[in-house]
Every structure is written in C-alpha cells, then in structure tokens.
Amino acid sequence: MRRISLTRVFSFSAAHRLNSDALSHEENKQIFDKCNNYYGHGHDYSVEVTVQGTPDSETGMLIPLPQLDTAVTEFLTTLEHKHLDLEAPYFKDKISTGENIVRYLWNELDKRLPAGKLFHIRLWETNNNYFDIGKDA
Amino acid sequence: MRRISLTRVFSFSAAHRLNSDALSHEENKQIFDKCNNYYGHGHDYSVEVTVQGTPDSETGMLIPLPQLDTAVTEFLTTLEHKHLDLEAPYFKDKISTGENIVRYLWNELDKRLPAGKLFHIRLWETNNNYFDIGKDA
Amino acid sequence: MRRISLTRVFSFSAAHRLNSDALSHEENKQIFDKCNNYYGHGHDYSVEVTVQGTPDSETGMLIPLPQLDTAVTEFLTTLEHKHLDLEAPYFKDKISTGENIVRYLWNELDKRLPAGKLFHIRLWETNNNYFDIGKDA
Amino acid sequence: MRRISLTRVFSFSAAHRLNSDALSHEENKQIFDKCNNYYGHGHDYSVEVTVQGTPDSETGMLIPLPQLDTAVTEFLTTLEHKHLDLEAPYFKDKISTGENIVRYLWNELDKRLPAGKLFHIRLWETNNNYFDIGKDA
Amino acid sequence: MRRISLTRVFSFSAAHRLNSDALSHEENKQIFDKCNNYYGHGHDYSVEVTVQGTPDSETGMLIPLPQLDTAVTEFLTTLEHKHLDLEAPYFKDKISTGENIVRYLWNELDKRLPAGKLFHIRLWETNNNYFDIGKDA
Amino acid sequence: MRRISLTRVFSFSAAHRLNSDALSHEENKQIFDKCNNYYGHGHDYSVEVTVQGTPDSETGMLIPLPQLDTAVTEFLTTLEHKHLDLEAPYFKDKISTGENIVRYLWNELDKRLPAGKLFHIRLWETNNNYFDIGKDA
C-alpha cells in the first residue's frame, strides 16, 4: 500500500541578522551582503510541516489535526514577532541562516510530535527562496 | 540520463463531512472538530498530477498533453460540484479525509493512464494543507 | 491629506447549493449549472475586509487590529464549516450566490465595526472569481 | 477615452517595532500586541506602484518602464534589509505602522516620478494585510 | 443599496514584440529594452473581467455565468497561443504594450457583453506588472 | 545529520513553438495542438533551482548566495525575452518542450555550479504545469 503524507502550512514573522563573530567586518559584508545590516531586517517565514505514516483505519487520518496544530503552533509562538538572534537561545552561537533555522525547526518539532511521524519541513524565507530538511531533502 | 517528470494542476469544488459511524457523537466531535458539522462544508480542491518516464525522442514529451488532460478531467468531472460522501460511492464506507481522497485519486487515475506513468499526486484541500501519495510521498 | 485604507484577509470554508424554489427543475439546471447539484458542493472562501479613515495620530493606526480581527472573526465563525443554505438564516429565502453572500457580509460587518469605518469587502469564492461591495464596487 | 493605469510590483525586507514613547509600557502592549516586541520583528513587504495617464501615442506606454523602475528601486534600496525605526529618519518620530509606511512611500515616490503620474500605492505587510493610499484609497 | 460587482479570472499565452516603425533601431532598443528582442518573447497573460450592476432579484446573480464565460472565452480564443503582432489585426499598426492590449480587450469585451455591464478589466502581463482600464482605472 | 537543501526561484519570459520537422503538418497539429501555432506563443517561465550538501560550519550556508545567483542569472539572461527555437542553439534540433528545456537547464547550471551541488530543478511553464529533473524527479 502506498504511503501517504499530510502537510500543514504555518507562518511566523521575525527579525534577524546574518553575522559571524569569527569573521572580520569586511568578510561578513562580503559573504552575507545586505543580510549583514547592523540593525537587522526581517521576514515573514512560512513553514510547511509534513507527517507521514499509515492513516488510522478508523478515522482515515495520519494524525488528529488538533494534535499536529497544537504541537507546531506552541513552538512557533516562541519565534513569532521575535528577533531570532537576540531572543531564541539556539541562535546565540549559530547564525540564523535558513539552513540553521530549518534544522532548528526539525529538532524542536521532532521532539513534540509522535515518534517517527515528522517526515519533512520546508521553510520559506521569502517568496523567492526556501530550505528543505527531511526525506532526501 | 536523469529522469524527468511532468505535473499538471487540476481543480474541483466539493462538499463533504468527516464523521465515523463507528464513533460516538462526542468522539466524532472531538476528533474531527468543525469538519464534523452535521450539514457538511466544502472546499476548492486542487490536484497536482505527476507523470514520469522517458520523453519520447520524436515529440520531446512524456505523454501527449491531451491524453493526460482527458484522462484526469473525465474522472474529476465525477467529483466536480458534488457532495463526496453522498455522491461518490468510494466514500460510502470510508471517511472523506484528504488521506482517503488522495488514495482514491491514485487508484482511479492509475487505471486511466498508461501503465507505470503515474508517479505522484498532491491534493490541496485548502491553501493551508495538502496530501501526497506516490514517490516516497 | 490623502486617505489611507487597511485591508485584512480572512477565510472560511462552507457548503452551499444554488437553487430557486421559484424556478422549475429545468430552469434551475440551466441557470445555475453544476452549482445546482442536489447534494450541494463547497468552497474555501477568502474575505478581504477594508476599513478607511484617518489614522490615529498617536498610534498611527486606522483601527486597533485586535478590534478589527475580533469583530470579523466572531462573525465568520458563524459560517465556518457550515452549510450556508441550511445553517445561515439569511439564506433561508435568498440564494447563496457570491453576490448575496458579499452583501450579507457587508450588513453584518458594518454593524460590528465603528460607524463609517467599513469601506470595502472582496469575497473570493474560488481562485477564479470574486465579488466586491463598497467603494464604487 | 477611458483612462488606463500601469502597476509594477516591488518588494523589500525590513525589521521594525511598533511602540509609542507617549504611551505606557502596558498601553503599548495592549495596542500593538506582539508587534510591540522589544527586539523588533520583520516582514517581507511587497509594494504595488500604480501610475495613470494617457499612453504616449508613439510608444503606447504610460511611462518608460526603466524610468519607473529606476525611480522606485533607488528609493526602496534605502529601506532594503534595514531596521525601519533605527535607520529611516522618517520613523524617528512616527510609528512604523503600515499606514505610516504607505504614506511615506507616497511622499517619496511622488517626488521621484513625473508630476501627476503617481496614482495609487498598495503596501502588503504580510500575505494577510495590506494598506492603500491614492485614488479614493 | 450598495452596488456589487463580479469578477472572473481568465488567461491566455501569447508571443509579441515591442517595436515602433516610427523609431530608429537605437530608439527602439532604448525605449523597449529587452522587450524589443527581434524574434519576440512571450507571456502568460491573466485577465480579470469585472461586471457591475444590480443582481437579478430571482437568481441573485449579476449575469448568468455561462453567458459571461462564453463571451470572454470566445474572444480570448482568438489570442490564445498566438503571436499578437502577427496574428491579431488590431496590432498591425499599434504596439502590443499592456496599455494597448487592455484597451483592445475593453473594446472587444464591451461589444460582447450586455450594454453597460462591463465595469473594469485588469490585465496581468507577468506576476510583477498589470494594467487596468475602467472604473477610474 | 539530516541533509538540507536550499532553493532559489528565478524567472524568464520567452517565446517558442512546438513543431517537429519529422512529422507531417497534420501530425504536428494533433500532437502539439495549440502549441504548434505557426507564429509561436510565449510563457513566463519560473525556475526553482535547488542545491544540496552540508552547510558550511562557519557561515551556516550551503553556498554563498551571490555565487548561486550570479551563476544562474548569467545563464538565464541568454534566454530572457528571447525566442527559444530561433535564438537558443540547443533547440535547433530539439523541440522546446518543457521536458527538453528543463534538461537543458540542468546541463547548463550543473556546469556553472560547484561540482555535486545541483540537486533539483523545477520549471514552471504556466501556473498550471511544471517539469522536474534531479532527485528522483
């Protein structure tokens, strides 16, 4: 029987700045370009969370939607309208690139969902770029 | 030579209700939430149908588009502006969750397309959630 | 000083059927086409609510967003995941066309918002059609 | 002869915070809600700039596109990947609400475009809300 | 009673080239830029057609949808997958700018719809620019 | 450690015609339908380019964005506002179907990006169909 997955779309708005303390001012400017702006900038992030498995034979669903929504929303609330670098401890020593944010989302959501259900996460940073983790990415 | 796939986007509007006769009124309310509303509700479903294979060396195409469009459209017409639970026999004894609808689409489209061509189906139920079947889902 | 307006986008999913008791079965079929389907069908409606006026000099806002969101959401909840014809009394004797739904939205939201603030409503029935009321429509 | 308008879509990403020095901490929290977050947050703003007039009889265009694009892009660059409150002088004593940003855009673009051409500006703050100025707004 | 309008979204794909015989090669290059490419280029045009009036008291509709769809589709078929400059006689002596195309659409659709119903047309040339005619444009 | 990918969205507008010299006029009409129109037609193509690998431990990025953007943009410029069949040598003896265009994009971008980074390309021909190459397609 073919496998089926369910994806829900969430969103949050946040500020951040791409800057590495290990790099010189000039290197930071060159590598991160306008994303290195001293006072930060921001995005409306969109998050597609995919769970996979065998639908429950009685309900026909992979996971009760309120359970999925609650788990994801409770976590995303900690980032909503925040400055990622200054307010999310994970980014104290990591640059808040999309690559690192999507890994952070994976780590946190995987803990909050039933074991083995989380299958893929896509993080849209703007309408023109996104980051994937899971599956074969 | 790398494999190539072609995806076409289709759509249909339908009404449905999530309810299991095997569950009590309270259980149905708890599990299906507002989707359990007695008189039903509806969606504008969007369906992305993907075929894969080796493009024909003469036409450069995986499948003649009219053949694909006709096969899919003829089937989706049976759901267009219908009440899924009351008018599609498949849902007589199955709940019309996205998971079950996307499996139903797979079964029906796989029969109507050349053997081995159907590769993936994505069903958007709303702009905020979708269901996948095929590939590794 | 030029006038400014603020628009917020809301959504709800519902079922309905276009049918007039004053018309014969054949006339209903001809005029409403597939929207006349006996068991109903459904849509994911999107509602753009526009308020206009002079921004408050202290807050820089036309209306406190929680006030706007609460007023609109409280009303749309009465339609969310409902069958419009069977559960919204307004459509007991009116056909639930987009034209009539958008007028109903105007009447109800205008009552719930500060006098003179409501300026325009756009109701998307599907991704391919929408209805406007207000301004010069 | 009917009037015609041309609209171009631009975008920029920025951080900001909604906070009024004239209000108490509690009032700021209540009015601006999560937008009052101390460290700021951010958005991907989208800007639709509309010019109106009579198309040039020779070129068939309202305005040469490079002229429009240059004028708008040169200005938006000053906001791109910036913190609005800390880096755009206009917001030194004004709260960076969408209402105030769209007025600021009008003032600045009207100066940079041929007299009388600017007709309307729509500023999307997120995919769920936008602000209009011009026409009758 | 407030006026209501209905808008339907249509689309067609076509090739064209912006070039004026009255201008020198260099002037054409400067004014039309990459749109002056000798062999032409193309777009997926999207057309939003708005009709306005008083909904019929019996049907609750401004116009029977099949009537609107037939009128618009019959005309757009003459442009579908065509080269505008070489195949649409209107552009024999007019440059196929968005401004001129939207005026052409107005002239043709106004003839095909019941008198006084056509209210506004928006023509999207790409996802980043559109042209309006009607209302106050 | 889970693999991560980054995708950037690009676009170009072009004209083309689907026609095979090896087929008769009637066969071309039947297979390519309206895409066989003698004078060509056009599209606004959208290209999603995905790179995969291990993010750099210092920058947190899979690839410096300016490097990716420059490589892709430099190539897409050769197609921008062009007639694919008449101006891109690759299509001299190949039909410019989406299947062939996406393979051409793969060949060209794979050469221009660091070895092994290119992971997937999705080419949208219109809003209703797209072509994939890479991964398992």
pLDDT in tens, C30-52: 889 999 999 999 999 999 999 99
In chain A the first and final C-alpha atoms are separated, in Å, by 23
Q: What is the mean pLDDT of residues F112-118?
A: 95
Nearest to A137 among F5, F58, F59 (CB): F5
Strand partners, A3: none
The confidence score (pLDDT) of residue F2 equals: 81
DSSP per-residue codes, A34-64: GGG-TT-EEEEEEEEEEEEE---TTT--SS-
Query: What are the C-alpha distances in Å from E32 to residues D53, E29, E40?
Result: 19, 6, 12
**How many residues in total does chain D contain?**
137
Which among D3, D4, D8 is the top mutation candidate for probing chain E, defined by the most E β-carbons within 10 Å of its own β-carbon? D4
pTM for the model:
0.88
Q: Is pLDDT above 70 for D1?
A: no
Token match 């369906």: residue?
Answer: B47
Q: Using a CB-CB distance cutoff of 8 angstroms, which residues of chain F are in contact with residue B6?
A: 98-99, 129-131
Q: How far apart are CA B18 and CA F50, in angstroms?
A: 38
Residues in chain A where the model's pLDDT stays below 50? none
Q: Are C124 and C130 contacting, i.e. CB atoms less than 8 angstroms apart?
A: yes
- C36 phi and psi, to 5 degrees? -90, 0
Q: Which chain C residues have a beta carbon less than 8 Å from that of B37?
A: 81-83, 87
Query: What angle do helix axes D65-76 and D98-112 make, rounded to 10 degrees?
Result: 130
Domain boundaries of chain D, sorted by first residue: 4-134
- Token pair in block for residue B3: 């494999």
Record the tokens describing residue E51, joined without a space.
Answer: 């009709």
Instruction: Read off the pLDDT band of C10 (50, 70, 90).
Output: very high
Quote the pLDDT of residue C121.
Answer: 98
Is the pLDDT score of C101 beyond 90? Answer: yes
**Residue B72 and residue B69: Cα distance in Å, rounded?**
5
Contact residues for A73 (Cβ-Cβ < 8 A; gap 6+): A10
For residue C6, which of C57, C69, C83, C58 has the smallest C-alpha distance? Answer: C69
Distance between CA F34 and CA F44 in Å, rounded? Answer: 17
Work out the minimum CA distance from A79 to partner chain D, whole angstroms. Answer: 9
Q: Which of F97, F106, F120 to mutate to test the interface with B (most CBs of B within 10 A)?
A: F97
Centroid of chain to Cα B110: 12
pLDDT higher than 70, residue B83: yes
Specify the pLDDT at position E51: 97
Asked if pLDDT for residue C84 goes beyond 80, the answer is yes
Listed residue (A60, C128, B114) closest to E69, CA to CA = C128
Nearest to C4 among D33, D95, D99 (CB): D99
- Kindly list the residues of chain C whose beta carbon comes within 8 Å of any beta carbon in chain E: 18, 20, 22-23, 31-33, 94-100, 102-103, 106, 127-134, 136-137
Q: Give C13's contacts in chain B (Cβ within 8 Å).
A: 41-43, 126
* C-alpha to C-alpha distance for B49 and C65, rounded to whole angstroms: 40
Q: Number of D:E CB contacts under 8 A?
A: 64
Euclidean distance between CA atoms D91 and D119, whole angstroms: 24
A44: amino acid identity, one letter: D
Distance CA A26, CA A33 (A): 10
Whether B89 and B108 have beta carbons less than 8 Å apart is answered as no
Q: What's the DSSP call for residue F127? A: T
The residues near A63 (Cβ < 8 Å, ≥ 6 apart) are A6, A51, A53, A113, A114, A117
pLDDT interval class at D135 (50, 70, 90): confident
Indicate the fold that domain D4-134 takes in CATH: Tetrahydropterin Synthase; Chain A (3.30.479)
pLDDT tens per residue across span B32-48? 999 999 999 999 999 99
Q: Is there a contact between D89 and D104 (Cβ–Cβ < 8 Å)? A: no
What is residue E71's three-state secondary structure? helix
Model confidence pLDDT, tens digit, residues C50-79: 999 889 988 999 998 889 999 999 999 999
Closest CB from D37, D42, D86 relative to A43: D42
Cross-chain residue pair D94–C2, CB shorter than 8 Å: no
Between CA F105 and CA C9 the distance in angstroms is: 38
Distance CA E113, CA C128 (A): 19
Distance (Å) from the alpha carbon of C3 to chain D's nearest alpha carbon: 6
Q: Is the ipTM value over 0.90, yes or no?
A: yes
Q: What was the pLDDT predicted at B48? A: 98
Q: Which positions in chain F have a beta carbon within 8 angstroms of at least one beta carbon in chain B?
A: 18, 20, 22-23, 31-33, 94-100, 102-103, 106, 127-134, 136-137
CB C82 within 8 A of CB C98: no
Which of C117-126, D56-65, F74-83 bottoms out in mean pLDDT, i.e. has the lowest?
A: D56-65
Instruction: Tell me the nearest-neighbour CA distance from A127 into chain D, angstroms.
Output: 9
Contacts of D68 in chain E (CB under 8 A): none
How far C120 CA lies from chain D's nearest CA (Å)? 10
Contact F35 E81 (CB under 8 A): yes
Question: Token pair of D91, please?
Answer: 């917001």
Dihedral sign from CA coordinates of B109, B111, B112, B115: positive
Q: Which pLDDT score is estimated for A119?
A: 96
Chain D neighbours, 3+ Cβ pairs < 8 A: A, C, E
- Among the options A25, A27, A41, A81, which is catalytic? A81
Interatomic CA distance for residues F116 and F110, integer angstroms: 8
Comparing alpha-carbon positions, the chain A residue that sits nearest to D15 is A41
Q: Any catalytic annotation for residue D99?
A: no
H-assigned helices in chain E: 25-32, 65-76, 84-87, 98-112
pLDDT of residue E69: 96
Which residues on chain C place their C-beta less than 8 Å from a C-beta of chain B?
11, 13-16, 34-35, 37, 39-44, 80-83, 86-87, 126-127
Average pLDDT of the residues in C116-130: 95
Cα four-point dihedral sign D11, C53, D6, D112: negative
Six-digit token pair at D47? 């800007």
C81 is catalytic: yes
Q: Is the pLDDT of residue C11 over 90?
A: yes
Which are the contacts of E67, defined by CB distance < 8 A and separation ≥ 6?
A: none
- Position E2 pLDDT exceeds 70: yes
Tokens of D67: 């002229």
Distance CA C71, CA F133 (A): 48
Do the chains contact at E40 and F44, CB–CB below 8 Å?
no
Comparing D6-10, D48-52, E61-65, the range with the smallest average pLDDT is E61-65
Q: pLDDT above 90 covers what percent of chain F? A: 85
Q: Give which of D123, B99, D80, B52 is closest to A62, Cα–Cα.
A: B99
pLDDT recorded at residue C2: 82
Task: Say which amino acid occupies E58.
Answer: E
Element (H, E) at C42: strand C41-53
Interchain proximity A133–F58, CB inside 8 Å: no
Chain A CB contacts of D87 under 8 Å are 37, 39
The amino acid at B24: S
Share the mean pLDDT of chain C. 94
Sign for the CA dihedral angle at C118, C124, C125, C130 comes to: positive
Beta strands in F4-128 (DSSP E): 4-16, 41-53, 82-83, 118-126
Task: Count Cβ atoms below 10 Å from residue B126 Cβ, excluding itself.
Answer: 16
Q: Which chains would you list as touching B if contact means 3+ CB atom pairs under 8 Å?
A: A, C, F
Which residues, other chains included, contact D82 with Cβ-Cβ below 8 Å and sequence gap of 6+?
A37, A39, A41, D14, D15, D88
At E11, the amino acid letter reads S
Quote the DSSP letter at residue F116. T
Verify whether the Cβ–Cβ distance C103 to E2 is below 8 Å: yes
Give the catalytic positions of F in this structure: 35, 81, 125
* CB-CB contact of F41 with F108 (8 Å): no
The C-alpha atoms of residue A120 and residue A104 are separated, in whole angstroms, by 13
pLDDT-derived band at F1, boundaries 50, 70, 90: low
Residue F130 has pLDDT above 70, yes or no: yes
Q: Do chains E and B touch (3 or more CB pairs under 8 A)?
A: no
Per the structure block, which two tokens stand in for A113?
A: 């969902």
pLDDT score for F135? 75
Q: D124 - beta bridge partners?
A: D46, D130
Q: How far apart are CA C131 and CA C97, in angstroms?
A: 10
